[in-house]
Every structure is written in C-alpha cells, then in structure tokens.
Amino acid sequence: MPSSRWLRRGPLALVAVLALLLSACGDGDAADDGPLTVYSGRNQELVGWVFEDFTAATGIEVQVRYGDTAELAATILEEGDASPADLYFAQDAGALGALEAAGRLTTLPDDVLDLVDPNLRAPSGVWTGVTGRVRVLAYNTDVLSAEEIPGSVFDLTDARWRGRVGWAPTNGSFQAFVTAMRITEGEDTTRRWLEDMLANDPVVFSNNTGALEGVARGEADLALVNHYYLYRFLAEDPELNVANAYLPGDIGGLVNIAGVGILATSDRQEAAEELVRFLLDEPVQSFFAQETDALEFPLVRGIDSPELPSLESLDPPQVDLSRLEDLQGTLELLTEVGAFE
C-alpha cells in the first residue's frame, strides 16, 4: 500500500502545496482601477449577459457575486465600511430599503433618477427600480377560466376558495406584498385577511416556483405569485396548463421592482453610475420586455413590452416602496397568526 509514505511525508507536502495555492489566490483586493464589484441578488441566468455586454460596451471590467437578495444585503451590512461591493442589484425593494436605512447607499445622479417613474424608485434617490415585477394570481386552466378569477385577494377568503388557494408565506415577494397591505389597508385589516385565509385552508408552498408547479399539478387551483415565473415554465413546457390573472387596482397586484443602489463606501462611483445608466438604457430594458425567459416590466418611460400589459393599465396600488423594508413587523405578524406552522 503506497499510501503509508504519503502519510509520513504527505501532510507537510500538502501543507506546502496548499499554502502556495492559497497565496496565489490571495491577492484579490480591488485597486482603484480594478474591476467593478457587483453583488447581485438577481440570478446569473437572468442578468449575467448584461454585465458582459456592459464590459464589451465600456471596457469597464465587472466582477459579480451572485446570491440570495436578502443574504447579500445581510452580507453588506456585516461587511460594514470595508465592503468590497460597489453596486448592489436586488430582487426586491425591501432589501434596498434595508441598506438605505443602514446608511449604506449613496444618492444616484438626477439624470438616472429622471428616467424612472418616481413611484418606482426611492424618494431619497439612493436606489432605483430597473424592472417591474407584478403580483398575480396564477391559475390552472384545466380547472378555472379567466372569468372565474376573483378581482381582489380579499375575495379569496370566501368559502368557495376553501383549500384551493396556494401561497408561499416564507417567500420574500409574498412578504413584501403583506408589508404593502399593512401600509395601505392597515394592520388590523391585514391581520384579519391573514387569519381568514388561514381558516380557508390554503395550500402552502416554499416559494413561487413550487407554487406554480403545484398549480400545474392541480395541488392548488390558483396561487399568489409573481408574474414572471410562468414564462420560465412556458419556455421549458409550452403546453403548461397555467395562466396569469392580473389584479388591477388591488393591493394583491402590487408592483415591486428589481433595482440597484450604489454603495456609499464604493471608490468606483462613476463606473457604478455608468452601469446603472446601462441597465436603464433601451437595449437592456427592451430585452427584459421581450425575452421570454425573463419577461419583466420595463420601467423606463417610452418602452413597452409586446408580451405584457402596460403598467398603467394595471392601475398599480400606490405604495411607497422604500417603506417595504419594515419586514420585521410582517414577520412577527405572520408568525403570530401562525402562517409558518
């Protein structure tokens, strides 16, 4: 057995090799002219190409750390002033609001802010939406027709929906929606709605993807989800028996954003601003408006999606998105009513 010699001399040799390897990788600290560092809570599959195109167009190198939106926000909070991140790309407004509340973000230039509807960016100007994501009711087309879908989430507490509604209370988008409901409808109404929903025996899923799969399987007849998951599923299975129903004017049809903010601690402010402009420029906005894998609502005025209704036609509820960061209250409410049990 040759491994005995390995054991006698191996550890030392291995330590040496490891040390070499690790020291070779150890000099990753960004100099002033180093690459721009982006923390992206948006998925590589969706936005990876944008950063590559940006580098091709401007010559500015970009390093991207992909992860969960909330976990990356928590990381930036833990990193504090030493954070290597220059730009944070979040999947929802709440995470941007949390960074804003901790003083981690810096004000964006006016020419960038002017591109986007004031409702879909921070009133303070420290973050802006890039694309819109709308809460919908996804329903099983074998069981329901479009006319049968209620126009408000408040109708879902009716006995006729008992055991038929899917939701994902642990999911960030759902919690953002509940937070919005607390803001517009008040704490008591929200609590009552949650309690009535729970009494109506909802089908619980862990996230939007699971909920949509569940609707397709018939575990639930309809579910509260974000609009775009449907298009991912349709790309892989064009025959899928699920459709989206919008909820114009209802809090259940909340328009949330995927957005960006520049870190106050970044020493690459200008390059980061370049990237924000690039994200709000016509090619990127049009891509999101058309690409079936990533079909989202363009936020820059004058660009419309051929596939999606216009945002105006959805009569989105007026919610100050930066207030969506009060998620602790939502978490406590959901815990108290027993939505996580």
Partner 1 sequence: MRRGRHAPPPPTAAASGPAGTVTGMERRPLLSPGVAEPLREPPEAPAPARGPRAVVGTHPLVWLPALMVAGAMLLPAVYLVIAAAELPLARIVAIVTDGATLRLAGRTLLLAGSVTGASLLLGVPIAWLTTRTDLPARRFFAVATALPLVIPTYVGAFTLVGALAPGGLIESWIGWRPPSPYGFGGAFIALTLFTFPYVLLTVQAALRGLDPSLEDASRSLGRGPAATFFRVTLPQLRPAAAAGGLLVTLYVLSDFGAVSILRYSTFTRALYLQYRTAFDRAPAALLGLMLVVLTVIFVVAEARVAKDRGGQFGLRGPGRPPPRVPLGRWRVPAAMLTSTVVLLGLVIPVTVIAYWLVRGVAAGEAVDVALGAAGRSLLVAALGAVAAVLAALPVAIWSARSRSRVARLAERASFTGYALPGIVVALALVFIGIRVATPLYQTLAMLIFAYVVLFVPQAIGAIRASLLQVQGNVEAAARTLGSARLAVLRRITLPLARRGALAGGALVFLTVLKELPATLLLAPTGFDTLAVRVWSATEEAFFTRAAIPAMLLIVLGSVPLAVAMVRERREVG
Closest approach of partner 1 to the CB of residue 168, in Å? 10
Task: Examine residue 66 and tell whether it contacts partner 1 (CB under 8 A).
Answer: yes
- Would residue 314 be called left, alpha or beta, if left means φ above 0 and alpha means ψ between -120 and 50 degrees? alpha
| Helix, strand, coil distribution of the chain in percent, nearest 5 | 50, 15, 35
Only segment of 9-17, 126-134, 151-159, 242-250 that touches partner 1 (CB under 8 A): 9-17
Instruction: Give the count of beta carbons closer than 10 Å to the beta carbon of residue 145.
Output: 9
Torsional sign, CA 239, 240, 241, 244: negative
Per-residue binding string, partner 1, 208-227, x by CB under 8 A, is -xx-xxx-xxxx--------
Task: Examine residue 32 and tell whether it contacts partner 1 (CB under 8 A).
Answer: no
One of 67, 109, 125, 151 touching partner 1 (CB under 8 A):
67
One of 86, 100, 221, 325 touching partner 1 (CB under 8 A):
325
Closest approach of partner 1 to the CB of residue 68, in Å? 7
CA–CA–CA angle 154, 214, 137 (5° rounding): 30
Only segment of 182-190, 235-243, 273-281, 316-324 that touches partner 1 (CB under 8 A): 235-243
Task: Examine residue 13 and tell whether it contacts partner 1 (CB under 8 A).
Answer: no
Task: Examine residue 162 and tell whether it contacts partner 1 (CB under 8 A).
Answer: no
Tell me which DSSP letter residue 95 carries.
H
Instruction: Give the count of beta carbons closer than 10 Å to the beta carbon of residue 124.
Output: 11
Q: Which of residues 122-161 bind partner 1 (CB under 8 A)?
A: none
Rounded to whole angstroms, the Cα distance separating 254 from 51 reads 28
One of 50, 54, 83, 262 touching partner 1 (CB under 8 A):
83
Rounded to whole angstroms, the Cα distance separating 189 from 338 reads 16
Torsional sign, CA 61, 67, 70, 71: negative
Closer residue to partner 1, CB minimum distance, 187 or 237? 237
Only segment of 60-68, 107-115, 144-152, 275-283 that touches partner 1 (CB under 8 A): 60-68
Closest approach of partner 1 to the CB of residue 5, in Å? 7
One of 88, 161, 167, 229 touching partner 1 (CB under 8 A):
229
CB 293 within 8 A of CB 235: yes
Per-residue binding string, partner 1, 282-311, x by CB under 8 A, is -----------x------------------
Best CA proximity match to 232, nearest among 46, 103, 75: 46
